């Protein structure tokens, strides 16, 4: 990794004419140099491949041709690519030294040079070449003459070798086709690990041929078949993406026991959980049952044959130990073996798991908790508890990746995830310790996400994380990130990501067939409750609770709210009158929207819970609009004495902001409140 | 069937208060009687099942609960249904006499009675009960108190027992998940046969385990696996839908020969076709090759084991016979066996196919062409050539279904398909002959449709066909059909149909990331070229040609154009001034749109082909707007002599209409032209 830190970030425009032509690359390459000139696309566009790539590159270049043709509609004559062939007519020449292996730390570097009507791509492996193709698709521009590639030189390679996305396919089942389209999106932002969280209390979501009762009794009939898993692995591998499966144990294990209650730590009849917590003593494997190990051996024999990656994730997190405490035989075992705590018992269990996995030539990976004294250095630690544990693992010589701060299901802003640098608290680490930090994973848990909404929770946030893990550490201009993210976000739709299209469908469902304009105006600016707060209101969410409410439709990082907030920032900084007018226009829209939304509510009962939200947005807008008018008049010296806002009034505003910031109907619009507060601050300073 | 004709269509409102409450049922049940009162939904809503249904009803009722809960968000407490159980708390009681078999002519009738806060569903089989559930979901209404079911009595059963949708998964591969979501939509409109066109010149789209070279060499890697086929069959069967596979032979057979050239009628190297015609002599099986029959026997042994339905469709259409004519050995065979024509040779081939199929207890089905002297009455004829052949088959005693007039890939209006009654030309048939007409199939060929666009070609047209095949013959009020179709069309989205959501994605792609408002305003009112005309312009479409143009985004039956056309009809009928104003406002929007669209075109090269279309729409709108103004002034007696429109001018308008009606950029807006012509006619009559 270290060698990439040394690469200087260059972004040189050799000609001012191109300053209008904003390149929308994401993740930002290590080195980009714009040259004079353009390469226009026409139907004669062809490509050829030289060197010695894996066959995956033929498929990838064929897909590239189709995607480029679909975007530009110039009707390329070239059909499928099926071999390396020197073709003098080729506009794009790709040269690859050797076939890649889709494994950790494979060479992913590439270079692109466009000039003189030709494009040259060079890469050590086909993985690098595929990343070059993604960069090329992002480079396409249009002017009055048509679509073109800018003449350019790019040199690129990732900062971290592990750039992952974890999808929890358990809590709500995430079907095959949703995973497939997310792989396409991952490839577009150069992510390279898909981590599937396959088993948990609410379901066993993978077919087992050795133990069919696992998926048959451990799911509601919704699971990934082995054929689907194979397809997913091949599809991912074709895009340079590894697939790491997770089988969470010894806790988070309820779904093992409807089929195999004999391996639980308490003997009773088990069903899969339909709630997400409050089922203590939580069903946990009994590590003192000697029969468990041949069972797991057989299970892992099957699964390690299915998954080619060198890592198997065994979870290992959040074992409350309550079933162990309640079982006298387990207590007796601990005494007999001088195990002082449940942690020591779990570590012993992990040792035995590791023995099983190494028999099948696999390395063990697990959440923070598995890092206990005596566990071999061969394992990969997955840090969910924070950078302290990340750094500890690295210092102790364990390879480790970060997910703390990358929990995208918590619905924080892309900015928050973007600025979460894995090495931000690693100043004290030596170079060899730093090199133990392999990267990170965006983690998408699905207690409150479904196949319909998951894309809108993963994207575009995961792209910000992808850039954090690929690009240079110094690339952290948030407004520029959002500019590029918005462009990418549109393109993700063309890959099939349903984050935008499902949004409108959900609004239509809520609006009960009536016009959605007013509803959309409101839901466009609200965000679902963040963190774990939505589930901590005393209402129980079941796996079958309908997640089709406004809070489910709303996106975690409102673009309208953000842009409005930037507008206010600019106004506060400049006092420009045209900005004040724009701000007031927007406030007026929200004020007027309240009456329109009431019409929707009359005919669409499921929208009625939004009334107080809309009411508060209206009130906020009235206050904000008044504050802007005040500031405008003030700056023009036209403020009359009677128009001054009293201290009492200002305090009332402040109190309202505080009240309005509380979530209602599981949504909030804190970004707008914070923006409006800046106006209030300005007026208060003035007074 | 006949007994359903006798049912009188009743639609009685016992209370005028309900006349506002338009029921949106589609297909319209045989008998509907609204009663006073409503049943409001709350979280205590529960259902129970009595009697003896198939287990599919437990799954269907669980899905019903979730769909109803998702639509209303009242958080039902009831989770999965897993058995028949008498439950006094149940609001909905379902009673079923016996398990259904998903076969032709199974009892599909049901009744619904809602009163006194209870819903009673009765059906002979679980199929009928499932149809009742679909009707119930369509019955849900909302008022100021919340969601409710109207008190009502419904008795229902289909007019025809074969209500199918054929999907060509070959020309463009249609993947598993698209088929799955279309099955859900079929179930929602009570269709009961999914016909999969699995093999053709452009691909062999099903995995064969006996002859893997069929799908491996006969496709570009895109085919349905047997596991997917099994899933599709189970998924369909759970919804009362039969799956009929088609293996087209002896013609339309190119994709058999890359793997097995020895069975073709000319010995050469074969590849799958990437064009849709012009590859004569078309690759055709050699029926004189005795090795062909053991091969087909083995193949059908495998496929008949996979598909449980009693019918296997063997295509049999459009064999040009040119490969046969060119092969001296085949000519010699014909002479030797006294076969006077290629038709006779094909009939002999069909006899042998039928022998094979009956060995595996299957009945043969094929397109019109298979009906030749001597073929057994046991086969099902699929009529694509017209009602003459439909009636002929019926008269000769062959069971027959209609697809002529139901080719939805030809992109005609829903109205055209809706009014295509299978029995409209069958006056001369006796009752026993009529009963040979089993129904029909909407046929969706995919030369110009892809996984992205197919939903918008199937839906909502197929729903109009579904009503034609289910409801009474007298139900044919087109405007009321469109009213109900529009409602249904929204609901199809909630089942996952992507006809609307993919539309906007396609516009965004065409607009190259710029605002789509102007583009949408235009594409909303144009329709893709109809019939076969788009492919007959001298440009060759390949299987890899990008179908992402405006013509691919545009929908076949523009709602905006239709409603505008109705507006003009109403104005022509009434001369009402407010209608004139609405018409002029709409024309003004189209006039203004032209300049806006030019801005899009500057930045989005793929939209530039639309310039003449937009220009013509602008000109049409200017003319139309002038005509309306003229008629307004005239009717108010305010027309000045100099404002009269000259004969020359009117002729010029007529000539322009003719010119503008020609498709450009593969789209047309004939509906708007015809509507505007009505204004011209009125002015001309006036002159």
Using a CB-CB cut-off of 8 Å, the residues of chain A touching B232 are none
Average pLDDT on A79-100 reads 94
Give the separation between CA A643 and CA B351, rounded to whole angstroms: 96
Using a CB-CB cut-off of 8 Å, the residues of chain A touching B225 are 227
Question: Which of A70, A220, A493 is nearest residue B508 as measured by Cβ atoms?
Answer: A493
Average pLDDT on A448-468 reads 98
B219, B546, B607: which to substitute to probe chain A, counting the most A Cβ within 10 Å? Answer: B546
Is 70 exceeded by the pLDDT of residue B63?
yes
HEC per residue, A16-54: HHHHHCCCCCCCCCCEEEEEEEEEECCCCCCEEEEECCC
Using a CB-CB cut-off of 8 Å, the residues of chain B touching A177 are 175-177
Is 90 exceeded by the pLDDT of residue B277?
no
Could you check whether the bond before residue A460 is cis, i.e. omega within 30 degrees of 0? yes
Work out the minimum CA distance from B242 to partner chain A, whole angstroms.
22
Question: Which of B71, B80, B509 is nearest residue A494 as measured by Cβ atoms?
Answer: B509
- Please state whether beta strands B162-168 and B193-200 pair in parallel, antiparallel, or not at all (unpaired): parallel
Work out the minimum CA distance from A141 to partner chain B, whole angstroms.
9
Using a CB-CB cut-off of 8 Å, the residues of chain B touching A172 are none
Nearest CA in chain B to A489: B513
Give the separation between CA B305 and CA B299, rounded to whole angstroms: 10
Q: Which of A137, A154, A203, A155 is nearest to A175 (CA)?
A: A203
For residue A547, what pLDDT band results from cuts at 50, 70 and 90? very high
A272, A501, A600, A611: which to substitute to probe chain B, counting the most B Cβ within 10 Å? Answer: A501
Query: Hey, are the CB atoms on A504 and B502 less than 8 Å from each other?
Result: no
Give the separation between CA B1 and CA B558, rounded to whole angstroms: 35
Average pLDDT on B105-113 reads 98
Nearest CA in chain B to A502: B501
Query: Hey, are the CB atoms on B79 and A544 less than 8 Å from each other?
Result: yes
DSSP run (H or E) holding A152: strand A146-156
For residue B15, what pLDDT band results from cuts at 50, 70 and 90? very low
Say if the ipTM goes beyond 0.90: yes
**CA distance between the termini of chain A:** 55
Phi and psi at residue B152, in whole multiples of 5°? -165, 160
Q: Please answer whether residues A50 and A58 qualify as being in contact, where contact means their C-beta atoms are separated by less than 8 angstroms.
A: no
What 3-state DSSP class applies to A627? Answer: helix
E strands within B170-323? 193-200, 203-204, 242-247, 311-313
Tokens of B281: 């002599």
Q: Which residue has the higher pLDDT, B5 or A599?
A: A599
Tokens of B380: 């099902």
For residue B563, what pLDDT band results from cuts at 50, 70 and 90? very high
A55, A75, A503, A541: which to substitute to probe chain B, counting the most B Cβ within 10 Å? Answer: A75
Q: Please answer whether residues A75 and A93 qualify as being in contact, where contact means their C-beta atoms are separated by less than 8 angstroms.
A: no
Neighbours of A336 (CB within 10 A): 9
Task: Spell out a b/e string for A593-629, using b for 16 or more CB atoms within 10 Å of the CB, else e.
Answer: bbebbeebbebbbbbebbeebbebbbbbbebbbbbbe
Q: Is the dihedral of CA B189, B194, B200, B205 positive or negative?
A: positive
Using a CB-CB cut-off of 8 Å, the residues of chain A touching B602 are 144
Using a CB-CB cut-off of 8 Å, the residues of chain B touching A491 are 513
Query: Hey, are the CB atoms on A603 and B142 less than 8 Å from each other?
Result: yes
- Please state whether beta strands A363-367 and A311-313 pair in parallel, antiparallel, or not at all (unpaired): parallel
Query: Hey, are the CB atoms on A605 and B177 less than 8 Å from each other?
Result: no
Nearest CA in chain B to A486: B513
Nearest CA in chain A to B598: A144
Of A624-628, A670-674, B17-21, the poorest mean pLDDT is in B17-21
Q: How many residues does chain A have?
A: 687
Which pLDDT tens digit goes with each residue over B454-489?
A: 999 999 999 999 999 999 999 999 999 999 999 999
Active-site entry in B36, B177, B318, B504: B318
Is 60 exceeded by the pLDDT of residue B406?
yes
Is 50 exceeded by the pLDDT of residue A11?
no
Question: Which of A73, A176, A605 is nearest residue B549 as measured by Cβ atoms?
Answer: A73
Work out the minimum CA distance from A513 to partner chain B, whole angstroms.
7
DSSP run (H or E) holding A71: helix A56-72
Look at residue A20 in the predicted model and tell me its pLDDT: 52
For residue B13, what pLDDT band results from cuts at 50, 70 and 90? very low
Nearest CA in chain B to A275: B79
How much of chain A exceeds pLDDT 70, in percent? 97
Using a CB-CB cut-off of 8 Å, the residues of chain A touching B274 are 79
Q: Please, what is the Cα angle at A85 between A84 and A91, to 5 degrees?
A: 110
Work out the minimum CA distance from A437 to partner chain B, whole angstroms.
37
Tokens of B377: 């009455």
Tokens of B148: 């409710």
Query: Hey, are the CB atoms on B490 and A504 less than 8 Å from each other?
Result: no
Look at residue A14 in the predicted model and tell me its pLDDT: 37
Look at residue B679 in the predicted model and tell me its pLDDT: 98
Q: Domain extents for chain A?
A: 2-156, 502-686
Query: Hey, are the CB atoms on B225 and A225 less than 8 Å from each other?
Result: no
Is 50 exceeded by the pLDDT of residue B7?
no
Tokens of B273: 């076709």
Query: Hey, are the CB atoms on A498 and B501 less than 8 Å from each other?
Result: yes
For residue B14, what pLDDT band results from cuts at 50, 70 and 90? very low
Q: Which of B409, B412, B464, B181 is nearest to A505 (CA)?
A: B181
Provide the 8-state DSSP code for B664: B
Using a CB-CB cut-off of 8 Å, the residues of chain A touching B73 are 546, 548-549, 606
DSSP run (H or E) holding A656: helix A647-660
Using a CB-CB cut-off of 8 Å, the residues of chain A touching B146 are 605
Of A101-115, B19-33, B67-81, the poorest mean pLDDT is in B19-33
Nearest CA in chain A to B541: A75
Nearest CA in chain B to A226: B227
Question: Which of A80, A142, A512 is nearest residue B512 as measured by Cβ atoms?
Answer: A142
Work out the minimum CA distance from B199 to partner chain A, whole angstroms.
21
Look at residue A516 in the predicted model and tell me its pLDDT: 97
Beta bridge partners of A152: A34, A114
Q: Which of A311, A335, A324, A163 is nearest to A239 (CA)?
A: A163
DSSP run (H or E) holding A659: helix A647-660
A273 labelled catalytic = no
Beta bridge partners of A244: A195
A149, A511, A544: which to substitute to probe chain B, counting the most B Cβ within 10 Å? Answer: A544
Which pLDDT tens digit goes with each residue over A372-430?
A: 888 888 899 999 999 999 999 999 999 999 999 999 999 999 999 999 999 999 999 99
Average pLDDT on B533-551 reads 94
Using a CB-CB cut-off of 8 Å, the residues of chain A touching B273 are none
Indicate the average pLDDT of chain B: 95
Q: How far is CA A468 from CA A11, A404, A418, in A?
A: 18, 14, 6
B75, B229, B599: which to substitute to probe chain A, counting the most A Cβ within 10 Å? Answer: B75
Work out the minimum CA distance from A78 to partner chain B, whole angstroms.
9
Query: Hey, are the CB atoms on B504 and A505 less than 8 Å from each other?
Result: no
Active-site entry in A318, A332, A595, A647: A318
Using a CB-CB cut-off of 8 Å, the residues of chain B touching A142 are 512, 603-605
How many interchain CB pairs under 8 A, A with B?
103
Using a CB-CB cut-off of 8 Å, the residues of chain A touching B513 are 487, 490-491
Question: Which of B220, B500, B604 is nearest residue A142 as measured by Cβ atoms?
Answer: B604
Give the separation between CA A327 and CA A264, rounded to whole angstroms: 11
Question: What is the residue whose two structure tokens read 């009334």?
Answer: A611
What does B597-632 look like in DSSP terms, one character per residue? HHHHHHH-GGGGGGHHHHHHHHHHHHHHHHHHHHHH
Neighbours of B264 (CB within 10 A): 22
Work out the minimum CA distance from B430 to partner chain A, whole angstroms.
45
Q: How far is CA A349 from CA A396, B262, B483, in A?
A: 21, 60, 65
Work out the minimum CA distance from A514 to partner chain B, whole angstroms.
10
Look at residue A17 in the predicted model and tell me its pLDDT: 42
Nearest CA in chain B to A490: B513
Give the separation between CA B262 and CA B286, rounded to whole angstroms: 9
User: The domain at B2-156 falls in which architecture?
Assistant: 2-Layer Sandwich (3.30)
Q: Which residue has the higher pLDDT, B17 or B454?
A: B454
Nearest CA in chain A to B76: A545
Question: Which of A79, A225, A603 is nearest residue B274 as measured by Cβ atoms?
Answer: A79
For residue B686, what pLDDT band results from cuts at 50, 70 and 90? confident
Give the separation between CA A119 and CA A96, rounded to whole angstroms: 14
Neighbours of B664 (CB within 10 A): 18
Question: Which of B66, B75, B546 is nearest residue A70 as measured by Cβ atoms?
Answer: B546
Question: What is the residue whose two structure tokens read 């959440």?
Answer: A367
């Amino acid at each position: 990794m270290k060698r990439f830190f040394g690469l200087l970030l260059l972004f040189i425009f050799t000609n001012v004419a191109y300053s209008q032509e904003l390149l929308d690359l994401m993740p930002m390459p290590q080195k980009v140099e714009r040259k004079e000139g353009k390469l226009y696309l026409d139907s004669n566009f062809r490509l050829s491949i030289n060197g010695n790539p894996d066959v995956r590159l033929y498929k990838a270049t064929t897909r590239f041709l189709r995607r480029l043709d679909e975007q530009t509609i110039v009707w390329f004559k070239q059909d499928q690519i099926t071999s390396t062939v020197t073709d003098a007519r080729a506009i794009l020449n790709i040269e690859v030294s050797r076939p890649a292996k889709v494994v950790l730390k494979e060479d992913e570097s590439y270079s692109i040079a466009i000039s003189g009507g030709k494009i040259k791509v060079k890469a050590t492996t086909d993985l690098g070449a595929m990343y070059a193709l993604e960069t090329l698709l992002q480079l396409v521009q249009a002017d009055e003459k048509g679509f073109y590639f800018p003449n350019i030189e790019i040199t690129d390679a990732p900062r971290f070798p592990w750039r992952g996305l974890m999808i929890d396919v358990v809590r709500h089942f995430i079907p095959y086709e949703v995973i497939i389209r997310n792989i396409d999106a991952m490839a577009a932002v150069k992510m390279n690990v898909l981590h599937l969280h396959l088993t948990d209390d609410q379901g066993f979501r993978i077919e087992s041929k050795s133990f069919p009762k696992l998926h048959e009794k451990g799911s509601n009939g919704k699971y990934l078949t082995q054929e689907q898993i194979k397809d997913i692995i091949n599809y991912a591998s074709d895009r340079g993406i590894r697939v790491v499966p997770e089988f969470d144990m010894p806790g988070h294990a309820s779904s093992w026991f409807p089929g195999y209650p004999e391996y639980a730590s308490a003997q009773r009849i088990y069903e899969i959980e339909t709630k997400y917590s409050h089922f203590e003593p939580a069903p946990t494997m009994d590590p003192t049952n000697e029969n468990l190990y041949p069972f797991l051996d057989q299970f892992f024999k099957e699964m390690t044959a299915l998954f080619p990656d060198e890592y198997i994730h065994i979870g290992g997190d959040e074992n409350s130990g309550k079933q162990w405490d309640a079982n006298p035989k387990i207590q007796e075992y601990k005494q007999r073996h001088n195990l002082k705590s449940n942690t020591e018992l779990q570590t012993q269990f992990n040792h035995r798991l590791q023995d099983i996995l190494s028999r099948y030539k696999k390395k063990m990976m697990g959440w923070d908790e598995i890092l206990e004294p005596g566990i071999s250095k061969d394992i990969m630690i997955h840090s969910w508890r924070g950078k302290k544990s990340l750094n500890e693992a690295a210092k102790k010589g364990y390879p480790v990746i970060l997910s703390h701060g990358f929990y995208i299901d918590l619905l924080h802003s892309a900015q928050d995830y973007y600025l979460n640098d894995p090495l931000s608290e690693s100043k004290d680490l030596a170079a060899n310790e730093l090199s133990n930090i392999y990267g990170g994973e965006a983690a998408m848990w699905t207690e409150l996400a479904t196949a319909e909404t998951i894309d809108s929770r993963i994207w575009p946030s995961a792209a910000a994380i992808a850039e954090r893990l690929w690009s240079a550490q110094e690339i952290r201009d948030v407004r520029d990130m959002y500019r590029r993210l918005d462009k990418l976000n549109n393109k993700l739709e063309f890959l099939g990501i349903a984050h935008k299209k499902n949004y409108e469908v959900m609004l239509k469902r809520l609006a009960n067939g009536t016009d959605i304009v007013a509803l959309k105006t409101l839901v466009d600016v609200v965000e679902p409750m963040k963190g774990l707060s939505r589930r901590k209101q005393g209402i129980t969410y079941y796996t079958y609770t309908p997640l089709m409410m406004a809070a489910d439709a709303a996106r975690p990082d409102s673009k309208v709210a953000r842009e409005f907030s930037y507008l206010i920032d600019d106004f506060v900084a400049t006092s420009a009158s045209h900005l004040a007018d724009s701000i007031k226009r927007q406030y007026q829209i929200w004020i007027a929207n309240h009456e329109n939304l009431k019409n929707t509510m009359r005919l669409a009962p499921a929208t009625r819970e939004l009334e107080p939200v809309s009411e508060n947005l209206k009130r906020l807008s009235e206050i904000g609009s008044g504050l802007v008018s005040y500031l405008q008049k003030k700056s023009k010296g036209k403020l009359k004495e009677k128009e001054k806002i009293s201290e009492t009034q200002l305090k009332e505003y402040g109190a309202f902001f505080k009240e309005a910031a509380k979530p209602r109907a599981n949504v909030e619009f804190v970004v707008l409140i914070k923006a409006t507060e800046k106006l209030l601050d300005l007026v208060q300073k003035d007074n």
